[in-house]
C-alpha cells in the first residue's frame, strides 16, 4: 500500500473513530445522564391511566320506586400519544360523529391540562360507530372506545323539571361555587347535571372515579392491564315525590292543556301544579307543562329551544304569574287581624262601585247584595275585597303578603331557579314609575290584580301556611341520602322558616270560609260532592289585550281534609279561562289520587 493510500485509510479510520466516539458519548449521555427523563417519556407513551367513570347515584321516589338509573354505553375518546393529535383522524371523527372539526379542536384546547388522559368526544354512541372505528383501528391513532355508565331516566319525560338532565354545557359561576362548597371542583368537559336534582345534588351524585393503568400499542389501544382502582358509586337520593301522584298531576295538566288547544285557544299551552304536605313542607308532586324527555334531550334540544312554550323552563318555580282571587285570603286575614272588619259585618255589593274616581266591578258585574266575610270568600266578591283593601291600606296589605311568602323565595334549595315574584307595593311601583300610589290601585291589589306576580310554588306554600295555621315550613324534595354501602348520610327533617302570628279565631274564620267555596253556591262547587271536605279558593287572573279577547288564567288552591290537613296544592293553567273551569278538574284528580278515591266511592 503506497503512502497516499495509507494516508487516506488513516483519515477514514480517524473519521469513523470520531463518529463512533461522538455516537458513544451521545449514547452514554442519553443512557446515563438523561436516563430518568427518557425512561419517563417512554413509560408515559407506553403506559396510560384510563379513568373509570363512577356510576352516578340513583334516584328513587318516596316509596323506593326507581326514577333514574344507569346503563352501559360507549364513548369515543381521543388520547395524545405524545405526538399531538392527527389531523386526518380528527377529520374522520368529525364526519363519523357528526361534529364540527372546530368543536373537536375546542375540546382538545379546553382540556389541554389533561392531554395524557382520554378526551371524551361523544357519549352513548351506536354500535355502528363502534364497529366502524374498530375496523379502522390501525388508521386512527389515539382513538379509544370506552364503556361508561349512561344516565337513564326510567319514565322518560316524567318529572323532568324536578330530575333535570346531564350535559357538558357551560355551568354558571355561582353553581360552580356552590359545588365547590359541597366538595366538588368542576373541570371543563366534565359531564355534569345541568338542571334540577342532577345539578343541585351533583357533588353527592357523581361519586369518585377510578382508574386503570394499561399498556398501549402505537395506536393507543390497550393491550395489557397493570393496576386497577375501582370507582366509588355516587350516593342514592330518595325524593319526597310520590310517583303515582306525580303521574296523575302531569297527565291531568296535559289533558286540560290539550283540550284548550283543541278548542282553538291558541294562547294556551302552559300549566303548572304543586302539591305539598303542610305538616312538613315535603313536595309530593310538582309538574310543569310542557316538559321534555331527558333521555333524548340531546336530539330534541334544537326544537325545544325554539318552542315558544319554553319546555325547558320549570313553570312551577321559574315563572311568576298574576294570581287573581286566590290572593283574597291575604286581604281577608289582614282586615280581620287589623280589626277593620268583624265576621258578622256585611258589605253591600251592587255589581259595581265607584271610589276615588275609579269605577270597579265584580266579575261579570254580578250584584251579590249584602255579604259577610264568609259569603264574600265563598262567592269571591270583588266589591267586598275592594273595601277591605281600602280599609287596611296598601302598606299593611303588602306586609301581610310578605308574611305569607310572597315577594321572596319560599326556601326551596333542592333544585335551583326559584323566583321571588312580586308584591304590589309603593316601593315596587316607585322602582318603575314616578307617579305616586293611588287608592284605586290598592283596590286592584286587594283582589290579586295590580303588580302581584306569584309562582305556583309560592301559591302552594301560601295555602299550606293557611292549612297549618301560620307555619311556614321550607319546601323540600330530597327526603334521604344513602351512600353506595347502604349507610344513611342524611334524613330531611321539617324546617320551620317562619310563623305567621294571627289570632286563632281569624284562622278559624278563613278556613271555614274556604270550605264554603267548595260547597253548593261557592265558586268551587265542582268539589261539593267530594267525599272528603276540601277548603279551596278559585282565581281568575285577567290578561290585558288590545281587543280584550285574550283568555284569563285559571287558578285554584286548596287543602284537605279541612279538620286535619294532609295535603295543600295549587294549580295554574295559563289562559285557562274563567276561574276554576280548568284548574278545579286538575285539582280534583290530584285529590282523588292522594286519598285513593274511586268513582264507586
CA-CA distances (angstroms) from residue 468 to 463, 471, 565, 570?
8, 5, 8, 15
250 CB-near residues (< 8 Å, 6+ apart): 158, 159, 287, 289, 291
d(CA 498, CA 474) in angstroms, rounded, equals 9
State the pLDDT at residue 228.
72
Nearest to 590 by CA among 544, 532, 543: 532
State the pLDDT at residue 463.
98
State the pLDDT at residue 38.
46
State the pLDDT at residue 19.
74
Alpha helices in 490-542 (DSSP H): 504-517
State the pLDDT at residue 454.
96
Q: Output the nine-digit C-alpha cell for 570.
A: 295549587
Q: Are 334 and 392 in contact, with CB atoms under 8 Å apart?
A: yes
Q: Angle at CA 559, nearest 5°, toward 555 and 565?
A: 170
Q: Are 576 and 260 in contact, with CB atoms under 8 Å apart?
A: yes
CA-CA distances (angstroms) from residue 518 to 1, 238, 301, 372, 568?
128, 35, 42, 17, 15
State the pLDDT at residue 136.
82
| pTM to 2 decimal places | 0.87
Is 54 exposed, middle or buried (CB count within 10 Å of its CB: 0-12, 13-18, 19+)? buried
Nearest to 298 by CA among 454, 123, 429: 123
State the pLDDT at residue 36.
56
- Helix (H/G/I), strand (E/B), else coil: 223: strand
Whole-number CA gyration radius for the chain: 34
Nearest to 450 by CA among 468, 467, 425: 425
In the chain (601 residues long), the average pLDDT of successive 10-residue segments reads 66 72 63 54 56 90 96 84 75 86 80 65 85 82 82 95 90 91 85 94 92 62 65 95 98 95 91 98 98 93 93 96 95 98 95 92 89 97 97 98 97 96 96 95 96 97 98 98 95 97 97 98 95 96 70 95 97 87 95 87 55
d(CA 553, CA 571) in angstroms, rounded, equals 11
State the pLDDT at residue 42.
47
State the pLDDT at residue 230.
83
State the pLDDT at residue 39.
46
- Helix (H/G/I), strand (E/B), else coil: 139: helix
CA-CA distances (angstroms) from residue 222 to 112, 126, 139, 146, 302?
22, 21, 15, 11, 37
State the pLDDT at residue 547.
55
State the pLDDT at residue 118.
76
d(CA 588, CA 601) in angstroms, rounded, equals 14
What are all long-range contacts of 90-95, with beta carbons under 8 Å and residues at least 24 apart? 92/136, 92/140, 93/121, 93/140, 93/143
**Region of residue 16 (left: phi > 0; alpha: psi -120 to 50; beta: else):** alpha
State the pLDDT at residue 97.
85
Q: Are 524 and 379 in contact, with CB atoms under 8 Å apart?
A: no
CA-CA distances (angstroms) from residue 408 to 223, 295, 384, 419?
59, 34, 28, 8
Q: In what order do the strands lie in the sheet with 47-52?
A: 47-52, 210-216, 222-229
Cis peptide upstream of residue 561 (ω within 30 degrees of 0): yes
Amino acid at each position: 500500500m503506497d503512502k497516499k493510500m495509507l494516508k487516506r485509510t488513516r483519515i477514514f479510520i480517524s473519521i469513523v473513530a470520531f463518529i463512533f466516539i461522538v455516537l458513544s458519548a451521545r449514547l452514554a449521555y442519553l443512557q446515563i445522564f438523561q436516563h430518568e427523563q427518557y425512561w419517563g417519556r417512554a413509560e408515559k407513551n407506553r403506559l396510560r391511566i384510563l379513568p373509570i367513570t363512577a356510576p352516578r347515584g340513583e334516584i328513587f321516589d318516596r316509596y323506593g320506586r326507581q326514577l333514574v338509573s344507569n346503563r352501559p354505553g360507549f364513548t369515543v375518546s381521543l388520547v395524545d400519544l405524545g405526538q399531538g393529535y392527527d389531523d386526518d383522524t380528527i377529520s374522520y371523527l368529525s364526519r363519523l360523529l357528526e361534529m364540527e372539526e372546530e368543536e373537536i379542536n375546542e375540546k382538545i384546547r379546553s382540556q389541554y391540562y389533561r392531554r395524557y388522559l382520554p378526551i371524551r368526544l361523544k357519549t352513548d354512541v351506536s354500535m355502528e360507530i363502534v364497529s366502524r372505528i374498530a375496523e379502522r383501528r390501525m388508521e386512527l391513532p389515539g382513538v379509544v372506545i370506552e364503556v361508561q355508565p349512561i344516565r337513564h331516566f326510567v319514565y322518560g319525560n316524567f318529572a323532568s323539571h324536578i330530575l333535570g338532565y346531564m350535559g357538558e354545557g357551560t355551568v354558571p359561576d355561582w353553581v360552580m361555587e356552590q359545588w365547590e362548597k359541597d366538595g366538588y371542583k368542576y373541570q371543563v368537559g366534565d359531564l355534569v347535571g345541568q338542571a334540577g336534582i342532577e345539578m343541585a345534588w351533583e357533588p353527592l351524585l357523581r361519586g369518585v372515579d377510578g382508574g386503570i393503568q394499561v399498556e398501549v400499542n402505537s395506536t393507543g389501544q390497550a393491550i395489557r392491564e397493570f393496576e386497577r382502582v375501582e370507582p366509588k358509586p355516587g350516593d342514592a337520593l330518595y325524593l319526597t315525590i310520590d310517583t303515582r301522584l306525580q303521574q296523575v298531576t302531569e297527565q291531568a295538566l296535559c289533558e286540560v292543556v290539550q283540550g284548550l288547544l283543541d278548542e282553538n285557544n291558541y294562547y294556551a299551552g302552559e300549566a303548572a301544579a304543586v302539591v305539598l304536605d303542610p305538616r312538613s313542607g315535603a313536595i309530593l308532586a310538582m309538574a310543569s307543562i310542557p316538559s321534555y324527555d331527558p333521555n333524548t334531550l340531546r336530539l330534541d334540544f334544537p326544537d325545544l329551544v325554539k318552542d315558544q312554550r319554553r319546555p325547558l323552563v320549570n313553570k312551577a318555580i321559574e315563572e311568576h304569574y298574576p294570581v287573581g282571587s286566590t290572593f283574597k285570603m291575604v286581604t281577608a286575614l289582614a282586615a280581620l287581624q287589623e280589626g277593620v272588619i268583624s265576621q258578622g259585618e256585611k258589605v253591600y255589593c251592587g255589581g259595581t262601585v265607584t271610589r276615588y274616581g275609579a269605577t270597579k266591578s265584580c266579575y261579570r258585574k254580578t250584584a251579590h247584595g249584602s255579604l259577610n266575610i264568609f259569603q264574600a270568600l265563598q262567592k269571591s266578591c270583588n266589591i267586598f275585597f275592594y273595601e277591605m283593601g281600602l280599609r287596611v291600606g296598601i302598606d299593611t296589605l303588602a306586609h301581610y303578603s310578605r308574611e305569607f311568602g310572597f315577594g321572596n323565595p319560599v326556601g326551596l334549595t333542592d333544585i335551583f331557579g326559584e323566583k321571588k315574584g312580586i308584591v304590589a307595593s309603593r316601593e315596587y311601583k316607585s322602582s318603575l314609575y314616578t307617579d305616586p300610589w293611588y287608592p284605586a290601585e290598592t283596590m286592584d291589589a286587594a283582589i290579586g290584580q295590580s303588580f302581584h306576580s306569584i309562582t305556583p310554588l309560592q301559591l302552594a306554600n301560601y295555602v299550606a301556611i293557611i292549612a297549618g295555621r301560620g307555619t311556614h315550613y321550607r319546601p323540600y324534595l330530597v327526603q334521604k341520602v344513602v351512600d353506595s354501602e347502604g349507610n344513611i348520610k342524611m334524613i330531611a327533617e321539617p324546617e320551620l322558616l317562619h310563623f305567621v302570628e294571627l289570632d286563632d279565631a281569624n284562622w278559624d274564620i278563613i278556613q271555614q270560609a274556604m270550605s264554603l267555596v267548595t260547597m253548593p253556591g261557592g265558586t268551587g262547587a265542582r268539589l261539593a260532592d267530594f267525599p272528603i271536605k276540601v277548603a279551596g279558593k278559585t282565581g281568575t287572573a285577567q290578561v290585558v289585550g288590545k281587543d280584550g279577547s285574550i283568555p284569563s288564567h285559571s287558578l285554584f288552591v286548596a287543602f284537605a281534609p279541612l279538620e286535619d290537613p294532609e295535603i295543600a296544592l295549587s294549580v295554574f293553567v295559563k289562559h285557562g279561562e274563567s276561574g276554576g273551569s280548568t284548574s278545579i278538574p286538575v285539582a280534583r284528580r290530584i285529590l282523588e289520587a292522594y286519598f285513593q278515591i274511586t268513582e264507586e266511592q
